[in-house]
Amino acid sequence: MEVVFVGYGVVSGLGLGLCYISPISALQKWFPERKGLGAGLSVCGFGIGGLICAKIPLPLINAIGLTNTFLVIGATYWFILMFCAFVFRFPPPERTKTRGPIFRNGTVFITRKQQKHGSAQDEKSMPPVMADSKTPPQNRIVYEPAIDLTLREALSTYEYMGMYMMFLANLVSGLVILSRLADMCINVFEKSADTASTVVAINGGFNFVGRLMFSSLSDVIGRKPSYLVMLGTQVVILAVLPLIFVTKNYWAFLLAIWTLTCAYGGGFGTIPAFIHDLFGMHNISGLHGILLTAWSIAGVGGGILFTLIYNHMIKHRGYTAASPEVYNVNFYWLCACAAIGFVVLLFVRSTVRDRLLPRVGGEVTRLRVFGRILRFEKTGTFKFKMTYLLQEEEDKEWASFWKASLKNIEVREETTVVTTGSMGDVIGGTERGAGGNTNAERNLGGPIAAGVGGDFHRSEAPRIDAPRNTDIPRGDVPRGEVRADMV
């Protein structure tokens, strides 16, 4: 038994963790504009593996015995993984770089990097600009700001803590119910063992579908809305499952369980891209690995609690394994977990604007509802008020914040560059070195260099990408305005 614990629990567990996390970071780098799809593709194999392999072990055991079955399956996995290791590649660095000013500890960092001789910017790479901008085309750069955090700093943020709780809540119901799915089919709905095995195999297919569907959907509607849909779906299904069990409606049970499994699988598919958006590609492997400890906690802790309640209902309440009540009591606390995760997610700030915008006096907390900030403020002892900000009010606060931030800019210069633009004018010309703290008007020479005192115009709240470098060409920019969409 000790060999089983060490071999299957420790060695196999370590192998699973290494093989699960490693491809995710690499594959996301091949899809910089569709990070959700890239993450979904990298983890959906975990779902389809259950669909393919669910029917393999039992016939092998009957044909060659238990020990030989482990040898055959292990050797097959080894050959497959060795082949994958030989074709494992990272994309070129330029495919993984996210451009933009970096905000760190109250300082805006700009890194200039060498550009090849030729056109400084082609038409395809030209970012969008506002129509009323006075800035010449060769210097009009619009990048999203980024937050640069170390691994330790990221772990201590409220966003990561909230994400951990949300992810735990998303997993626990799926893990607990999946482990008892065959028993539910056999005991409550009186199906055969073969039918139960088929249900479990098909359920693995829905796990695969959920990982790919919700991760791709997150590229369209956003990571946070996708998780709100998943957790909301789990709350509804767990609330109606007791009624389904009491009435023993088998087809309603299958529909509910398979939908729940889609939402459960979608959590795995979407979380890598969510981590990337909030904390950048640099820390994704470490943060993802730590976040997956919620998987273990949900499986072990949720399984133990489910079993304790299940055994208590049978031994002390007079129920049997076929009684719906032994499952319904567990559905209640699982529903509560999903609801808590839903509420916690509402307070996870998933954009740069939400994370950087300073609190006003008396503000306790805030969340974004239908694209606008709902602010909770303390006005006195046990007195609170809610303020639903207009977009114009929010933009004004955001502009004021950036006016203050632009007074403290550090320019990091990397290499010498002399680049000729389309009109023959020299755009580059810096030498390797590190610039000290400087104001934007004197040293930046780029999109933020138009002056600190200009008017800001409205821009959408940007997402979080945490690059280590950013390419910003240098040139003579007419004094005039600093717009929020420039930063």
pLDDT tens digits along 359-391: 888 888 888 887 888 888 888 888 888 888 888
- 368 forms beta bridges with 373
Four-point Cα dihedral 240, 241, 243, 245, nearest 10: 170
Beta strands in 381-481 (DSSP E): 383-388, 409-413, 433-438
Condensed to tens digits (0 to 9), the pLDDT of residues 174-208 reads 899 888 999 999 999 989 988 998 898 888 888 88
Residue 157 backbone dihedrals phi, psi, to 5 degrees = -80, 150
Rg of the Cα atoms in the chain: 27
Task: Tell me: pLDDT of 129 over 80.
Answer: no
Q: Where are the domains of the chain?
A: 2-91+161-346
CATH superfamily, region 2-91+161-346: MFS general substrate transporter like domains (1.20.1250.20)
What is the C-alpha separation between 271 and 215, in angstroms, rounded? Answer: 8
What is the C-alpha separation between 285 and 287, in angstroms, rounded? Answer: 6
List the single range of 38-47, 240-249, 273-282 with lowest mean pLDDT: 38-47
List the single range of 115-124, 145-154, 240-249 with lowest mean pLDDT: 115-124
In this prediction, what percent of the chain has a pLDDT beyond 90? 22
Condensed to tens digits (0 to 9), the pLDDT of residues 211-261 reads 889 988 988 888 999 999 999 999 999 999 999 999 999 999 999 999 999
Condensed to tens digits (0 to 9), the pLDDT of residues 422-454 reads 333 333 333 333 334 333 333 333 333 333 333
Which pLDDT value is given to residue 119?
A: 38
Report whether 4 contacts 71 (CB < 8 A): no
Residue 410's Cβ-count burial label (10 Å; 0-12, 13-18, 19+) is middle
